[in-house]
Amino acid sequence: GNSVTQMQGQVTLSEEEFLFINCTYSTTGYPTLFWYVQYPGEGPQLLLKVTTANNKGSSRGFEATYDKGTTSFHLQKASVQESDSAVYYCVLGSNSGGSNAKLTFGKGTKLSVKS
Amino acid sequence: GGIITQTPKFLIGQEGQKLTLKCQQNFNHDTMYWYRQDSGKGLRLIYYSITENDLQKGDLSEGYDASREKKSSFSLTVTSAQKNEMAVFLCASSISGGALSAETLYFGSGTRLTVL
């Protein structure tokens, strides 16, 4: 089946520090990869998505590269702000894997940014 | 733009009780979804519907029923609430051009369930 691994459950940074959130995936074929962000008290919202292997997606200073060779889709931001504090989900979109759920969510990484 | 409205925001139930959660969207999207969110477990799909009166089971459908009464609304029923259960139920919609695995989901802010 399909799977998404986010090893970091929680990341704590100070403002202007570099952010790196690890995400690896397992599937067959050519999936679509997403990052969703969930602010406190809200539902998740799309941060960025990439449909083509070896392409990079970017939004609001965040970027992620769909690396088919290493099956990774790490999220990065050069300089975080306190307003970036949220839970970040790496998500795999695939029609393979035998599940009726076309999207597979990682467990999420909670980012806390201190001023 | 559009919005997804989930009611109620907070739901407290008793063990064994049947509980219904409601969701409305004004995006005019074809596909609607119900996800369960547990701390540290990500989001898991319960049911989805690609059109009015359609229902498709997700990976977590046991213990739940769903109903797509009309294009704009999708309700979820917990058939028998489990004691000490705590979770957030998220409703979402997508435009559905046919490739569900590549579509962007738009989420509501959730219903928080507590079972005493």
Does A107 touch chain B if contact means CB atoms closer than 8 Å?
A: yes
Query: Strands (DSSP E) along B30-110, which ranges?
Result: 31-38, 42-49, 56-57, 64-70, 73-78, 86-94, 106-107
Give me the total of CB pairs closer than 8 Å, taking one residue from chain A and one from chain B: 64
pLDDT at B40: 81
Q: How many Å apart are CA A84 and CA A16, to the nearest integer?
A: 11
pLDDT at A1: 86
Q: Which residues in chain A touch residue B109, judged by CB atoms under 8 angstroms apart?
A: 41-43
A94, B44: Cβ pair inside 8 Å? no
Q: Which residues in chain B touch residue A36, judged by CB atoms under 8 angstroms apart?
A: 105
**Is B47 within 8 Å of B64 (Cβ atoms)?**
yes
Residue among A31, A42, A100 minimizing CB distance to B58: A100
Cβ count near B18 (within 10 Å)? 11
Residue for token pair 């477990």: B41
Rounded to the nearest 5°, which phi and psi values hold at B101?
-75, -10
Q: What's CA A110's distance to the chain center, in Å?
A: 11
Residue-wise pLDDT tens for chain A (115 aa)? 899 999 999 999 999 999 999 999 999 888 999 999 999 999 999 999 999 988 999 999 999 999 999 999 999 999 999 999 999 999 999 887 766 678 999 999 999 999 9
Rounded to the nearest 5°, which phi and psi values hold at B100?
-60, -30
Taking CA–CA distances from B101, the nearest residue in chain A reads: A93
pLDDT tens digits, one per residue of A43-67:
999 999 999 988 999 999 999 999 9
Does B9 touch chain A if contact means CB atoms closer than 8 Å?
A: no
Q: Which of A91, A99, A103 should we substitute to test contact with B (largest number of B Cβ atoms within 10 Å)?
A: A103
Residue-wise pLDDT tens for chain B (116 aa)? 899 999 999 999 999 999 999 999 999 999 999 999 998 888 999 999 999 999 999 999 999 999 999 999 999 999 999 988 899 999 999 997 667 888 899 999 999 999 99
pLDDT at A96: 78
Residue among A41, A45, A94 minimizing CB distance to B101: A94
Residue for token pair 């540290």: B40
A100, B56: Cβ pair inside 8 Å? yes
